[in-house]
Every structure is written in structure tokens, then in C-alpha cells.
Structure 1
Amino acid sequence: MAEKLFLEVVTPQEAIVSEEVEIVVAPGSEGEFGALRGHTTFLTSLKLGTLRYKDANGKERLLFINGGFAEVLPNKVTILAESAERRKNIDITRAQKAKERAEERLAAKTADLDFSRAEAALRRAIDRIKIAGTMK
């Protein structure tokens, strides 16, 4: 049996994941990256997106990551995220409402619209919905 990689996903509020895994795939700021045990050491910023990993039993797990940093070591990956949610904890109704609000703000094009903020809210909502499995 191959040696595992230890994954920790931590937010300012709580530890989300702390377990041995086979592989981690994360949304790096310069593009998606994957890490297996023995990977070379590096540090990178993360963008909003999906963190995927296979647990010790080979089952794929998904998390929504809202930015942060990743430290990759040969035997450990640490994700320090601004926020993170496991797939099972995503409130679909709340995410759908957030998507609708963001779309309405962007469509209204009012003078006081903070476009980048509204666009980021829309991206967060869409990613959360995709991870939850209700949108293709």
C-alpha cells in the first residue's frame, strides 16, 4: 500500500479537514495543481474554487474554497482558507438566493455598483452550487 499524504484544511473559524489522503487537487492562483506524497515543497496563494482530494479509502471528496494559501510539503498539504465548506454542508437554497441577488445587482448596473464585488459573489454562489451537485 502506498504511503499517504496528510491534508489539513483550516479556516479562521475551524479545522475543516485533518486526515490522510491519497491526492490533493487545489485551485492555485496560477492554475490548478495536484500533490501526491513526495511532492516538492512550495507555497502558493489560492483562488476561489473546488478543492478535491481522495481520502484514505480512495473516495473523492469536494470542498468549496474561498481563497487563501497552500503549503505543500513532501508528506503534508496545509490549506489556510478564508472560508471553506464541505460539499454536504452547502446550503443549496442560500447559495441559489445569493446567485439570484448577485445576478440582479449586475443586471441593474446602478451607478453605485461595486462590479468586482458583485461578480465575486456570483462566482462564489455558482461554485458552491456546482460542488453541491445541482448545477452542471
Structure 2
Amino acid sequence: MITYNFQLHVVSVEKKLFDGIINKIQVMGVEGEMGIYPGHSPFITFIKPGILKISKLCNSEEYMYLSGGILEVQPNIVIILADMAIRAEDLDEKKAQESKRLAEEKIKNMTSRGVDYIKISTEISKAIAQLRLIELLKK
């Protein structure tokens, strides 16, 4: 039997952000951007900071920022356990710009590129993903 939709649950440490029947999602996995459609093969993977695009049944879309987490795909259900998830309309552009600026400043002042460099690079990636989502909503 062919299905044309599936159940999606998006849960962060703080709360459940989405629970509904959808057509597809796009999310940033560790290997790159992934599209999950009905009938996708089951798997589990880590997700990177980025944008979650949810295509709903009524041909509308919803966007969220995910700071990372785990994606589990089963035959008729997809679960995202996010470290942090923020609905696009709840993002704060000034806060994201300031986070990016501070992280870039830290990198400029570094004397070596060890664990701190990786941590700061992750902070920049998170801020950039938030700013991309804010720009996307403005269009």
C-alpha cells in the first residue's frame, strides 16, 4: 500500500513543537541536506544545526531552527529529538546577529585551533542557520 503522508513529531528538551500528519520534510543531516518523503527507508542519524522545512497536507509550509539532535525515520512516522528547536517566527534576529559577531570575534582572537575553535565554529554555524531562516521568512 502506497502512503502519501506520514506522522511527524518534533520534540526538544523543553517541549513538543510539532505533532501532525505531513507530506515531507527537509532537514540538515550529518551527510548534508536530506529530504524525507512517505515510504522512506527506516534509519537513525544525527542532525546538524539548520533549518527544518515541514511540508503540510494543506500545501503550506512551516519552518523551525534546529540546533542539532537525532532523526529517526520509521515506515509511517518520523521523530526528531532536537537539542533545541525554535519556530521560525520566534527567532530573534538581533540576538542571532550578536551571537555570530561574538563568535567571529573569538575566532579572530584565538592563538591556536583546538577544541575551542570547533566549539566557536559551531556557534557561528548555529547563528548563520538562524539568520538564513529569518531571511527566508522575510521573502
The offset of 1:60, in angstroms, is 2.0
Q: In structure 1, what is the Cα distance between the partners aligned to 2:70 and 2:112?
A: 34
Cα separation, partners in 2 of 1:4 and 1:110, compared to 1, 3 Å: same
The offset of 1:31, in angstroms, is 2.2
TM-score (norm 1): 0.89
Identity score, percent:
29
User: Residue 118 of structure 1 aligns with which residue?
Assistant: 120
Q: How many matched pairs?
A: 135
> What stretches of structure 1 of length at least 5 have no aligned partner?
none
User: Residue 86 of structure 2 aligns with which residue?
Assistant: 85
**Once superposed, which parts of structure 1, at least 4 consecutive aligned residues long, lie more than 4 Å away?**
110-113
The offset of 1:3, in angstroms, is 3.8
User: Residue 13 of structure 2 aligns with which residue?
Assistant: 12
Q: 2:59 matched to 1:58?
A: yes
The offset of 1:122, in angstroms, is 0.8
| AA aligned opposite 2:132 | K
Alignment of 1:98-117 (within 5 A): 98-110=99-111, 114-117=116-119
User: Residue 129 of structure 1 aligns with which residue?
Assistant: 131
RMSD: 2.2
Worse overlay, 126-135 or 27-36: 126-135
Alignment of 1:64-83 (within 5 A): 64-83=65-84
